[in-house]
Structure 1
Amino acid sequence: MHIHILGICGTFMGGVAALAREAGHKVTGCDAGVYPPMSDQLRELGIELVEGYGADQMAFNPDVWVIGNVVSRARQPDGRPRYPLMEAILESGARYTSGPQWLAEHVLQGRHVLAVAGTHGKTTTTSMLTWVLEQAGLQPGFLVGGVPLNFGRSARLGSGKCFVIEADEYDTAFFDKRSKFVHYRPRTAVLNNLEFDHADIFDDLAAIERQFHHLVRTVPASGRVVVNGVEESLDRVLHQGCWSEVRSFGAAVSDFTAEGDPSTFDVLQRGERVGRVAWDLSGTHNQLNALAAIAAADHVGVSPAKAAEALGSFQNVRRRMELRGESGGVKVYDDFAHHPTAIRTTLDGLRRKLGTGGGRILAVFEPRSNTMKLGAMKAQLPWSLEQAELSFCHSGGLGWDAREALAPLGDKAQVGDTIDEVVRQVVAAARTGDHVVCMSNGGFGGIHERLLEALAKR
C-alpha cells in the first residue's frame, strides 16, 4: 500500500509514517515549517518529504491519503485555500482517512493496546511503560509523541502482543472531531491527570471530561483503567460510568503509592512494599508517572518489583529536561513544557534536584500552543514561574499583552518580541552556575544553540 501523509512531521503523524514504513508500505508525505527531531527521523527512514501542501502532489496517486489534524478547510486572506492539496483530494473523490483511523485498522487490530492519556506526562509515561515491558521481554510495539532515549525513535511495530500508545485528547481531523484516543480501543487505559487545555477546541473542562469518558467506554470488562487518585476531574469521569477493573495511584488510599523522595522511592501496593525505584529523574510528577506505568504493566503480568527495577535504567525522552550544552559555566536545557502546570512541575523538579545553593534557574518560554496563544491561561503564568529566579518570555505572535500578564513578577520577568531579543536578555543576565530552561512545544527558533553560541562569545 502507498500512503501519502499530510502533516507528516507532527510527532503523531511521524510515528504513523515510521510504523507504516516498517510494515512494508510505501510512505511519502508533506508538511510545512518542519523541525527536528521528527524531520531527521523520517529522512533516516528514507521517507520522501515534500515541503508545503501544493495540489501538484496529486501526482503521487497513493492508495490512500492520510490526513493529519493540522490540515483544515481554512482560507488565506486573499481567499485561496491554505491547503490546496486537501481541496484537490476532496474534488477528486480520492480515498482519504485520518491518522488514528489508519493506525487502528492497520496496526492496532488484534493487539493488547495500552493507552496513556492525560493533560500532562503522556509522552514520558508512555515511554516508561514501553521500557518496562521491553525489559520484561514482551517486545512491545509503541507510538510515542517524542523520542524515548532508550529506543532512539518514536515508534516501532514490535513483535509482541502488546502495543503502547500515547493517547491524545486532541481532535482527530477536520472531518472527525472526536478525540484521537477514541480510535485506539485499549484493554489497558491510563488516565494520568486531567485539567483544562486546548481552548481552541474545548469550551471547558467538562467537555474534555466527556471525551475521557468516551475513552473509558471503549475499555472491555476484562480491561483495566489506571487512574490518578488525586484528580477530582478523573473522579467525575469515572462517575459517568466505568465497566472495567479500576486501579488507582498517587493518593494515600490508592492501590499504588510511593514512599520517599522522587529520585529514590519505595513502591507500595495496597500498603505493602513491592519494589523500589532509583533513577536519575526528579519531580513528584515523574514519581506519579512511574506509579501509573507500574500499575499498567501489572495488568499484562509484569510484577511491580520488575517494573520498578526496569525504571532504574529509564533514560527519559528527548526534550524533557534535556541538557543541550554548557557554555561559559551556564547550562542550557530543552523542555517541552507549554501549559502553566507543566511549566511549574518542570521548574519544581529542577529546583528539588538542585537543592539549596545549586544555582539559579532562568526560565525561557514561548506561549506557543493554541491554548496559550488565545490567552486562556495567561493569569497562571506568574504562578507557574515561581521557582525561577528570572523569567524570559518570547511574545511574538500573541494576541495579548505578555508584559501585563507577567507584571506580578516585577523585575524578575522580561519580555522579548523576537527570539534575538530574548537571547540578548538572557545572555546579559546569566552568570556562572545558572541553569537556563527553554520551554516550548515547538522548535523555539533554535534558541538553545543561539544561547550557547552567544554565551561562548560573551
Structure 2
Amino acid sequence: MHIHILGICGTFMGGLAVLAREAGHRVTGCDTGVYPPMSDQLRALGIELMEGYAASQMALQPDMFVVGNVVSRARLADGTPKFPLMEAILDAGARYTSGPQWLAEHVLQGRHVLAVAGTHGKTTTTAMLTWILESAGQKPGFLVGGVPLNFGISARMGEAATPFVIEADEYDTAFFDKRSKFVHYRPRTAVLNNLEFDHADIFDDLAAIERQFHHLVRTVPSTGAVVFNATEDSLRRVLDKGCWSLRVGFGAGGDWTAEGTPSSFDVHHQGKHVCRVDWELTGQHNLMNALAAIAAAQHVGVSPSQAAEALARFQNVKRRMEVRGAVAHPGGAITVYDDFAHHPSAIRTTVDGLRQKLGTQARILAVFEPRSNTMKLGAMKAQLPWSLANVDLAFCHAGGLDWDARQALAEMGPRAQVADDIATLVQQVAQAAQAGDHILCMSNGGFGGVHGKLLEALQVQ
C-alpha cells in the first residue's frame, strides 16, 4: 500500500510514518515548518518529504491519504484554501482517513495496547514503560511523541504477539473526527498520569476534557486496568463517572507509593516494599511517571524489581532536559538545556526539577515561548509568573502573540524580559549570562534554533 501523510512531521504522524514504513508500505508525506528531530528521522528512513500542501500531490495517486489534525478547511485572507491538497482529495472523492484510525486498523488490532494519557508526562512515561518492557524481554511495539534515547527512534512495530505502548493524546483526531485521538486505541492497560485544563482551542473547560478521558475509560475491557494518579481530583471525578476495569492508583493514597528523593526512592505496593529506584532523572514529576510505568508494567507481567533495574538505565527522551551544549568560562561553564515544557504547570515542574538538582546557589535562566495553541490564546498567561517563580531570570519570545507578554510578566519586575524576535532574545540572554549559569530553553516547537544561536553567541562574548 502507498500512503501519503498530510502533516507528516508532527510527532504522532511522524511516528505513524515510521510504523507504516517498517510494515512494508510505501510512505510519502507533506508538511510545513519542518524541524528536527522528526524530519531527520524520516529522511534517514528514506521517506520522501514534500514542502506544503499543493494540490499537485494528487499526481502521486496513493492508495490512501492519511490526514493529520493540523489539516483543516480553513481559508487564507484572499479566500484561497490553506490546504489545497485536502480540497482536491475531497473533490476527487479519494480515499482518506485519520492517523489514529489508520493506526487502530493496521497496527493495534489484536494486540495488548498500553496507552499513556495525561496533560503532562505522556512522552516520558511512555518511553519509560516501553524501556521497562524491552528490558524484560517483551520486545514491544511503540509510538512515542518524541525520540527515546534508549531506542533512538520514536516508533517500532514489534511482533504481532507483543504488547504495543502508545502515547495517548486527548487532542482531537482530525477536522472530520472531533473525538480525542486516544478513543481509537482501545487499550487493555490505560495510564492516566494527570489531568489539567489544556488545549483551549478545542476544549471549553476542564469538564470537557474530563468527558473525553471518561470516553477512554469506557473502552478499557473488564479484564484490563486503569492506572491513575491517585492525587488528582480531576481523575477521581473521571473514574466516578464509571469504571468497569481494575483500578490501580499511584501516588499518595494509591496502591503504589514512593519514599525518598526523586533520584533515589523506595517503591511500595499496598504498603509492602517491592523495589528501589536509583537513576539519573530529577523532579517529583518524574518520580510519579516512574510509579505509573512500574504499575502498568506489572499488568503485563513485569515485576517491580525488573522495572527498577530498567529505570536505572533509562536515558530519557530527546528534548526532555536535554543538554544541548556548554560554553567554557573561567568561573564555570554556561550550560544550555532544551525541554519540551510549554504548559505553565510543566514549566514549573521542569524548573523545580532542575533547581532541586542544582541547589539554590546556581542561577537558572529560563528562555521560553508560549507556542502551544492554549498559550497562544492567552488562556494561561496569568500563571506564567507562578510557573517561573524559581528561576533567576526569565526571557520570553513574544513573536506572534495576540496578548501582551510584558504585561503578563510585569509582576516579575526586572527578572523578566520580553523579545519580539529570536535575534533580540538571544542578545538579551547573552548579555545577562554569567559564568556557571544554566540556561533552560522551553518550547513545544523548534524555537527558531535558539539553542545553537545561544551557544554561538556565548562563545564570542
Q: TM-score, normalised by structure 2?
A: 0.98
- Alignment match, 2:344: 340
Aligned residues: CA RMSD: 0.5
Q: In structure 1, what residue type is equivalent to 2:24?
A: G
* 1:144-163 correspondence runs (5 A): 144-159=144-159, 160-163=161-164
Q: In structure 2, what residue type is equivalent to 1:138?
A: Q
Deviation of residue 308 (structure 1)?
1.1
- Alignment match, 1:402: 405
Q: Secondary structure of 1:28's match?
A: strand
Give the Cα separation in 2 of the matches to 1:221 and 1:165.
20
- Alignment match, 2:272: 272
Deviation of residue 452 (structure 1)?
0.1
Kindly indicate whether the alpha-carbon contact (under 8 Å) linking 1:267 and 1:308 is maintained by their aligned counterparts in 2: no
- Alignment match, 1:285: 285
Give the Cα separation in 2 of the matches to 1:272 and 1:233.
27
Deviation of residue 305 (structure 1)?
1.2
- Alignment match, 1:174: 175
Give the Cα separation in 2 of the matches to 1:55 and 1:95.
15
Which digits, 9 at most, give the CA deviation of each residue in 1:135-159, with x for residues without a partner? 0000000000000000000000012
Kindly indicate whether the alpha-carbon contact (under 8 Å) linking 1:324 and 1:334 is maintained by their aligned counterparts in 2: yes
* 1:8-407 correspondence runs (5 A): 8-159=8-159, 160-251=161-252, 253-328=253-328, 329-357=333-361, 359-407=362-410
User: Is there any run of 5+ residues in structure 1 with no aligned partner, and where?
Assistant: none
Q: Secondary structure of 2:5's match?
A: strand
Give the Cα separation in 1 of the matches to 2:202 and 2:164.
28
Q: In structure 1, what residue type is equivalent to 2:173?
A: T
Give the Cα separation in 2 of the matches to 1:88 and 1:33.
22
Q: Secondary structure of 1:331's match?
A: strand
Give the Cα separation in 1 of the matches to 2:33 and 2:308.
40
Deviation of residue 349 (structure 1)?
0.1
Deviation of residue 355 (structure 1)?
1.4
Kindly indicate whether the alpha-carbon contact (under 8 Å) linking 1:332 and 1:437 is maintained by their aligned counterparts in 2: yes
Which digits, 9 at most, give the CA deviation of each residue in 1:370-394, with x for residues without a partner? 0000000000000000110000000
Q: In structure 2, what residue type is equivalent to 1:348?
A: D
Which digits, 9 at most, give the CA deviation of each residue in 1:276-304, with x for residues without a partner? 11010000000000000000000000011
Identity %: 76
Aligned length: 456
Deviation of residue 356 (structure 1)?
3.1
Deviation of residue 200 (structure 1)?
0.2
Kindly indicate whether the alpha-carbon contact (under 8 Å) linking 1:30 and 1:50 is maintained by their aligned counterparts in 2: yes
Q: Secondary structure of 1:24's match?
A: coil
Give the Cα separation in 2 of the matches to 1:399 and 1:374.
7
Q: Secondary structure of 1:451's match?
A: helix
Divergent runs of 4+, >6 A: none
Give the Cα separation in 1 of the matches to 2:265 and 2:434.
34
Give the Cα separation in 1 of the matches to 2:268 and 2:309.
14
Deviation of residue 227 (structure 1)?
0.3
